Structure 1
């Protein structure tokens, strides 16, 4: 499959092993090379999330997130339209990696500043005509802007999805290997961390409108990739 063009809208989808779509998120391409796809979004970007997950965000109730995972285990859930808010996001994803590196930016005076790095552990990507498919494996690593401190996030939810069988033993082994890989990248300042200063100064291109999803999707729409 050909590379995506700079500024092109792409859709990141989390697709369950049943082929049902768990979430969709519209992004714009910053760069697409043999090493990695770099994409971004700004406040106003369109998304679709599981209805229970959206409710958990609205109510600030993590127990509802647990209900969302329970629904995932049954294979039955609904999606709801959502809008990305507050932060700008810059995402780095190698096609075969079991993680993506994300940078979040927040308002700071008249500009923006890097709030934190966020490593999301997830499936390797499968390219589609609209973007790429992956699947979030729940556990994350939050890293401070200077790369000097980090902490694991959502370990309790990761244990829960392991008990539910959402994350299999082989996926768990891949996550464990990816954890070591990411910590080595931070220590060695490799991957996106090799040019951390440039990432810290990155800003959303004001000529780009907030990305929109290309078409409506029914809840649980099949997530079969195109090709590549």
Structure 2
């Protein structure tokens, strides 16, 4: 992907995940770089990380649902994200409880990452595939919500997004694993604290989809 390797991040560096909705910044989450080789970018969102929303915009499909729900920071143990060059989904990992038990694999359908000077841009596609750690197989999530909101959020892209969901399911059905399962045992650096988004994050240039 053009520009994908133009900004490589170092472990521990702040990486701002922005969602761009219909040509406008929609949300920003400052994450921590775990590793980055130009093809696989792994980021971590510590518990307590702020969720930052733009102060102004046309918001043709409304403001971000997390803002409307009053979410201002990430709760819990934190979230690990695996992003691949040119791939229209990422893989989220979650842990829970005092023993930090691994919860499962969350295939988050979203725009392939487009790198910026401060991090990367994407857009959550709402449709997801969830494989709980204690389950025999996966399940699709937010199917109804995707069908209801998708035509306005992703005009002309619904079939493409559905196809990516089917592709993920087909790979899983075939027993394919395109990620390292050892990430389930990963633990964050204890020195990694929640980060702040840089001033002017809304005005950093982006490539619209």
Q: Same fold by TM (over 0.5)? A: yes
Matched, 1:123 2:104: no
1:19-49 deviation line (CA, Å, top 9, x unaligned)? x111111110111113311111121112125
- Deviation of 1:92 after TM superposition, in Å, equals 0.5
Runs of 5+ in structure 2 lacking a partner? 1-5
TM-score w.r.t. length of structure 2: 0.81
| 1:105–1:115 contact (8 Å) kept in structure 2 | yes
Q: 1:89 aligns with which of 60, 79, 93?
A: 79
Answer 1 or 2: higher relative contact order, Cα 8 Å, separation at least 6. 1
| 1:29 equivalent in structure 2 | 33
Q: 1:11 aligns with which of 5, 12, 16?
A: 16
| 1:144 equivalent in structure 2 | 132
Alignment of 1:73-222 (within 5 A): 74=60, 77=63, 82-108=72-98, 111-145=99-133, 148-163=136-151, 165-169=152-156, 171-186=157-172, 187-192=174-179, 195-196=180-181, 198-215=182-199, 221-222=202-203
- Deviation of 1:130 after TM superposition, in Å, equals 0.6
Q: Greater shift after overlay, 4-13 or 143-152?
A: 143-152
RMSD of aligned alpha carbons: 2.6
Go from structure 1 to structure 2 and tell me whether the alpha carbon gap of 1:50 and 1:156 turns closer, same or farther (over 3 Å shift): farther
Q: Distance in 2 between matches of 1:185 and 1:45?
A: 33
1:105-143 deviation line (CA, Å, top 9, x unaligned)? 1124xx311112111111111111110001111111111
| 1:48–1:81 contact (8 Å) kept in structure 2 | no
1:40-88 deviation line (CA, Å, top 9, x unaligned)? 112111212589xxxxxxxxxxxxxxxxxxx95x355486771111132
TM-score w.r.t. length of structure 1: 0.75
- Deviation of 1:222 after TM superposition, in Å, equals 5.0
SS of the equivalent of 2:48 reads coil
Number of equivalenced pairs: 195
Higher helix share: 1
Q: Distance in 1 between matches of 2:199 and 2:71?
A: 12
